[in-house]
Amino acid sequence: MRVKICGITQPQQSLAIASLGATALGFICVPTSPRYVTIEQIQAALVPLPKNIDTIGVFANSSTTQISDTVIASNLTGVQLHGDESPEFCYQLRQSLPDVEIIKALRVRSLEHLQTTANYIDYVDTFLLDAYHPQQLGGTGQTLDWQMLQAFSPSRPWFLAGGLTPDNIIYALNQLHPHGIDLSSGVELSPGDKDLDKVALLFARLNSVLM
């Protein structure tokens, strides 16, 4: 199972988190976010990483040019679209970045909203389901209605996000079977400053049930 730790801001934490077991690291490229990082910060965080770690830039309502420029300059392996991007936008981005993973995040409000994933199937590689918040795009610490997701079975892999912590991850995975999980605020001391003890506890608990 893929494990993505998102909102990395400190280069020295990127290698530590990867060493603990993360398969993907997320970097917030949204200037209004408290976890925002520049291209230079992303580059510094990527230098010590092994090549098998996925590095994902998180964008919200950016242009295809902005996204492509950041991805190419930072040498990211993936893009997470966390705004109101349409299927057509995802198609255009695919033309610009044919070899980069495209993850479409949905801040799920209802079962009907969840069904809109079908519109993106042909244009993205992966989905990420996050909790809806009217003012914040992510990192809210709020959980989804996991019961609503029990019948969710798209023809693309998907990440579960939204309020996951070392304390509730096993309960969540007993109910759902995502292809990956995504944590940010659940393993932080403050926005962008990861708590490495919590990250270690997360992997200890995951290993106890996944081994």
Decide if 90 is catalytic: no
Decide if 29 is catalytic: no
Fold of 2-210: TIM Barrel (3.20.20)
Rounded to an integer, what distance in angstroms lies between the CA atom of residue 9 and that of residue 7? 6
Q: Is 126 exposed, middle or buried (0-12, 13-18, 19+ CB in 10 A)?
A: buried
For residues 180-196, b (16+ Cβ closer than 10 Å) or e, as one string?
Answer: bbbbbbbbbeeebebbe
Asked whether the predicted pLDDT for residue 33 surpasses 80, the reply is: yes
For residue 95, what are the β-bridge partners? Answer: none
Residue 17 and residue 199 in contact, taking contact as beta carbons nearer than 8 Å = yes
Rounded to an integer, what distance in angstroms lies between the CA atom of residue 20 and that of residue 155? 30
**Domain locations along the chain:** 2-210
Confidence band of 151 (pLDDT split at 50, 70, 90): confident
Mean of pLDDT over the chain: 92
The pLDDT assigned to 111 comes to 74
Q: Retrieve residue 14's tokens.
A: 């990127």
Please state the rounded mean pLDDT for residues 5-13: 96
Rounded to an integer, what distance in angstroms lies between the CA atom of residue 174 and that of residue 165? 14
What are the CA-CA distances from residue 98 to residues 58, 63, 156 (Å)? Answer: 17, 16, 17
Three-class secondary structure assignment of 114-138: HHHHHHHCCCCCEEEEEECCCCCCC
The pLDDT assigned to 134 comes to 46
Three-class secondary structure assignment of 47-92: CCCCCCCEEEEEECCCCHHHHHHHHHHHCCCEEEECCCCCHHHHHH
Q: Which of 6, 29, 54, 182 is catalytic?
A: 6
For residue 57, what are the β-bridge partners? Answer: 27, 79
Q: Which of 29, 54, 90, 130 is catalytic?
A: 130
Instruction: Quick: pLDDT tens for 41-94.
Output: 999 999 999 999 999 999 999 999 999 999 999 999 999 999 999 999 999 999
Q: Global pTM?
A: 0.93
Percent of the chain having pLDDT more than 70?
Answer: 93
